[in-house]
Amino acid sequence: MAGVAEFTKFPSESLKVGKGFKLAEVDPDTTPGYPGNKADGEALLEELDDKLAELQEKLFAESKFGGTKRVLLILQGMDTAGKGGIVKHVLGAMDPQGVQFKSFKAPTPEERAYDFLWRIEREVPGAGMLGVFDRSHYEDVLIHRVHRWADPKEIERRYKAINEFEARQVAVGTKVIKVMLHISNDEQKERLLARLDNPAKHWKYNTEDLKQRAFWDDYMAAYQAAFDATNTDHAPWYVVPASKKWYARIAVQQLLLEGLGEFDLEWPKAEFDVEAERRLVERS
Amino acid sequence: MAGVAEFTKFPSESLKVGKGFKLAEVDPDTTPGYPGNKADGEALLEELDDKLAELQEKLFAESKFGGTKRVLLILQGMDTAGKGGIVKHVLGAMDPQGVQFKSFKAPTPEERAYDFLWRIEREVPGAGMLGVFDRSHYEDVLIHRVHRWADPKEIERRYKAINEFEARQVAVGTKVIKVMLHISNDEQKERLLARLDNPAKHWKYNTEDLKQRAFWDDYMAAYQAAFDATNTDHAPWYVVPASKKWYARIAVQQLLLEGLGEFDLEWPKAEFDVEAERRLVERS
């Protein structure tokens, strides 16, 4: 990677939510651990595409021979925080065959008739898959807390249920990576205005977003509370400064590279006699 | 697209299965309608990535405002024909959010307890989605015919059921594009040997493939019979010469571009007052 600026400190360390973490102290405009500029970041993203795709293919390959490893990337953030951009520009580099994507919207009447984890459970990644949740079960402790759709006791019950649910995923071989894309209030305003300026983006503009924007501080408090209650060793949170889109993308790419890297993935060994098989093919 | 060789005749015409079509007369090594070489083809593929991604995004956007259009791309072919490569290199250019991919394997005991279309029905693309089937309900009239797992009367029943099923998809707004990736017997041998030569590809090698290879002629006859019975105006077949991978990819890309192009997709118009909304955001 001659000439492409790399991270000097890994996002898995520098962006990890730790003891005493305060969301209010994170500056969304910064680029922690990365010394390069936008052009450097874009070059790095492209440079590492192939490495990420190879790791994902190895993960997929292992599962064909009994491997149980898998990844669940959870993306949260305020409207316009860039979740869709992560999906397109980071996940898009991998083989669609091995990526299991799910966008969670407001629950349907059927979904509401069950416990909040019912619809989530059905979308968890199978062995060998890289699962991505665009929003998730965290909405049930974020928007529900902000608007008091659930009382404090119920929110506490959900935190506990979430921790148990995520521990179960980890127990079957899932690496759970939870990401909050953190933009500033001003940056959201800029992005909403940019959507209004571009007719090709009007379909993404939802008048509901502005109503939620009015609750900004309550959302930040709800995120802080969620970090306090659900940042576990088995399923840690990462807060990614996201006012610079290019930075958020390379940071999430790194988190995936590091997470997959920890799996020590190898190409599965042939379970057949390669030479004998070659002779059979040649004669066929 | 200065300098990039384009198709002189569209794949939607030149590769379409017509009256009296004979699979035996298609040369898998050719590049119908395309005057360029491999380097040209690779440049074209990359050149048209963005156009394909934009059409797919428009398709997705329309569905958010009641649009019912969608695409179902069905990929069939002998082992090693390149279905996975199409998914990775053609579909991979689009936003994973709008691509619904399903690989059909041998049916599970549960799936076998139902009619053959039961598991297929559950995977059809929703409105706005680009669905891709890697293998499909056609296996039930291909491998089942070759090995006589179903008798001729049952195969006839299935052809009819397939035509009715596909007509139903079209009726709700689906463009059904059925593709057979056609490689030669010799090319399959080369590709199997190449997999054996590369330890990173051993996981893709299945000793079962060689067993199926022994039935090559029967498979070609089963494909021909399937074309004769299920090539309909509403859901036409395209036979894509696929011994040259680069050609198969640009041909399928073109079929998607043309298919999406026929939808006359537009960015949805704002259903809100853009100026009023802008003032609200500015004040927020």
- Inter-CA distances, A180 with A126, A236, B265, Å: 23, 11, 34
Give me the CATH number covering residue B153.
Answer: 3.40.50.300
Kindly state the DSSP code that residue A97 receives in the 8-state scheme: G
Nearest CA in chain B to A104: B97
If residue B242 lies in a helix (H) or strand (E), which one and from where to where?
A: none
Q: Given its phi and psi angles, is residue B153 left (phi above 0), alpha (psi -120 to 50 degrees) or beta? A: alpha
CA distance linking residue B63 with residue B128, whole number of Å: 5
Q: Tell me if A2 is assigned to some domain.
A: no
CB contact under 8 A, A281 and B95: no
Q: Tell me if B13 is assigned to some domain.
A: no
CB contacts of B196 in chain A (<8 Å) are 274, 277-278, 281
Between B271 and A257, name the one with better pLDDT.
Answer: A257
pLDDT, residue A2, reads 59
User: For chain A, which residues lie within 8 Å of any Cβ of chain B, measuring from their own Cβ?
Assistant: 61, 64-65, 84, 87-88, 91-97, 99, 101, 103, 132, 134, 189, 192-193, 196, 199-200, 202-205, 207, 210, 213-214, 267-270, 272, 274, 277-278, 280-282, 284
CB contact under 8 A, B210 and A281: yes
User: Nearest CA of chain B to the CA of A156: how many Å?
Assistant: 32
Q: Given its phi and psi angles, is residue B107 left (phi above 0), alpha (psi -120 to 50 degrees) or beta? A: beta
Residue A8: is its pLDDT beyond 90?
Answer: yes
On whether the CB atoms of residues A186 and A195 are closer than 8 A, the answer is no
- Looking at the 3D structure of chain B, how many domains does it have? 1
Nearest CA in chain B to A59: B203
On whether the CB atoms of residues B132 and B73 are closer than 8 A, the answer is yes
Kindly state the DSSP code that residue B124 receives in the 8-state scheme: S
On whether the CB atoms of residues A119 and A107 are closer than 8 A, the answer is yes
CB contacts of A134 in chain B (<8 Å) are 97
CB contact under 8 A, A189 and B284: yes
Length in residues, chain A: 284
User: Nearest CA of chain A to the CA of B178: how many Å?
Assistant: 19
On whether the CB atoms of residues A224 and A146 are closer than 8 A, the answer is no
On whether the CB atoms of residues B134 and A97 are closer than 8 A, the answer is yes
Residue A168: is its pLDDT beyond 90?
Answer: yes
Q: Tell me if A254 is assigned to some domain.
A: yes
Nearest CA in chain A to B215: A284
Kindly state the DSSP code that residue B107 receives in the 8-state scheme: P
Contacts of A248 (CB under 8 A, 6+ apart): A82, A85, A86, A181, A240, A241, A242
CB contacts of A189 in chain B (<8 Å) are 281-282, 284
pLDDT, residue A281, reads 96
Cross-chain CB nearest to B65 (options A101, A189, A203): A203
Of the candidates A77, A206, A83, A249, the one whose C-alpha atom is nearest the C-alpha of residue B61 is A206
CA distance linking residue B245 with residue A160, whole number of Å: 51
CB contact under 8 A, B278 and A88: no
CA distance linking residue B21 with residue B113, whole number of Å: 35
Contacts of B179 (CB under 8 A, 6+ apart): B73, B74, B75, B76, B237, B238, B239, B240, B252, B255
On whether the CB atoms of residues A98 and B103 are closer than 8 A, the answer is no
Q: What is the mean pLDDT of chain B?
A: 96
| Residue in the block written with tokens 């049916």 | B107
Q: Tell me if B274 is assigned to some domain.
A: no
CA distance linking residue A125 with residue A91, whole number of Å: 15
Cross-chain CB nearest to A65 (options B84, B203, B267): B203
Residue A275's CB is within 10 A of a number of other CB atoms, namely: 9
Q: What is the dihedral of CA A17, A22, A28, A29, to 10 degrees?
A: -110
Interface probe for A, chosen from B73, B108, B129, B203 (most Cβ of A below 10 Å), is B203
User: Nearest CA of chain B to the CA of A211: how many Å?
Assistant: 10
Length in residues, chain B: 284
CB contacts of A192 in chain B (<8 Å) are 281
| Tens digit of each residue's pLDDT (9 = 90 or more) over A52-90 | 999 999 999 999 999 999 999 999 999 999 999 999 999
Contacts of B78 (CB under 8 A, 6+ apart): B183, B188, B212, B213, B216, B219
Q: Which two tokens stand for residue B124?
A: 């059809």
The ipTM, to two decimals, is 0.90
CA distance linking residue B207 with residue B220, whole number of Å: 20
pLDDT, residue A3, reads 74
Taking CB atoms within 8 Å and a gap of at least 24, the contacts of B90-93 are B90/B45, B90/B52, B90/B249, B90/B252, B90/B253, B90/B256, B91/A96, B91/B130, B91/B132, B92/A92, B92/A93, B92/A94, B92/A95, B92/A96, B93/A92, B93/B49, B93/B50, B93/B52, B93/B53
Contacts of B145 (CB under 8 A, 6+ apart): B155, B218, B222, B225
Q: Tell me if A3 is assigned to some domain.
A: no
Residue B2: is its pLDDT beyond 70?
Answer: no
Q: Tell me if A6 is assigned to some domain.
A: no
A173, with CB counted inside 10 A (0-12, 13-18, 19+), is: middle
On whether the CB atoms of residues B223 and B23 are closer than 8 A, the answer is yes
Residue A140's φ and ψ, nearest 5 degrees, are: -75, -10
Strand A237-241: give its sheet, edge to edge.
Answer: A99-103, A130-134, A70-77, A174-182, A237-241
Residue A1: is its pLDDT beyond 70?
Answer: no
A186, with CB counted inside 10 A (0-12, 13-18, 19+), is: exposed
The distance of Cα B175 from the centroid of its chain, to the nearest Å, equals 11
CB contact under 8 A, B199 and A267: yes
Strand duo A174-182 + A237-241: pairing = parallel
CB contact under 8 A, A214 and B284: yes
Cross-chain CB nearest to A277 (options B207, B268, B284): B207
CB contact under 8 A, A210 and B277: yes
If residue B133 lies in a helix (H) or strand (E), which one and from where to where?
A: strand B130-134
Residue A262: is its pLDDT beyond 80?
Answer: yes
Mean per-residue pLDDT, A259-271: 95
| Tens digit of each residue's pLDDT (9 = 90 or more) over A107-161 | 999 999 999 999 999 999 999 999 999 999 999 999 999 999 999 999 999 999 9
| Tens digit of each residue's pLDDT (9 = 90 or more) over B172-226 | 999 999 999 999 999 999 999 999 999 999 999 999 999 999 999 999 999 999 9
On whether the CB atoms of residues A4 and A47 are closer than 8 A, the answer is yes
CB contacts of B272 in chain A (<8 Å) are 205, 207
User: Nearest CA of chain B to the CA of A104: how many Å?
Assistant: 12
CB contact under 8 A, B193 and A281: yes
Kindly state the DSSP code that residue A188 receives in the 8-state scheme: H
Q: How many CB pairs lie under 8 A apart between chains A and B? A: 114
- Domain containing B248 equals 25-265
CB contact under 8 A, A96 and B87: yes
Among A265-274, B2-11, B243-252, where is mean pLDDT lowest? B2-11
User: Nearest CA of chain A to the CA of B225: how many Å?
Assistant: 25
| Tens digit of each residue's pLDDT (9 = 90 or more) over A195-234 | 999 999 999 999 999 999 999 999 999 999 999 999 999 9
pLDDT, residue B196, reads 96
CB contacts of B210 in chain A (<8 Å) are 277, 280-281, 284
CB contact under 8 A, A207 and B272: yes
Q: For A78-122, where are the E strands, in sequence order?
A: 99-103
CB contacts of B66 in chain A (<8 Å) are none
User: For chain B, which residues lie within 8 Å of any Cβ of chain A, measuring from their own Cβ?
Assistant: 61, 64-65, 84, 87-88, 91-97, 99, 101, 103, 132, 134, 189, 192-193, 196, 199-200, 202-205, 207, 210, 213-214, 267-270, 272, 274, 277-278, 280-282, 284
CB contact under 8 A, A210 and B95: no
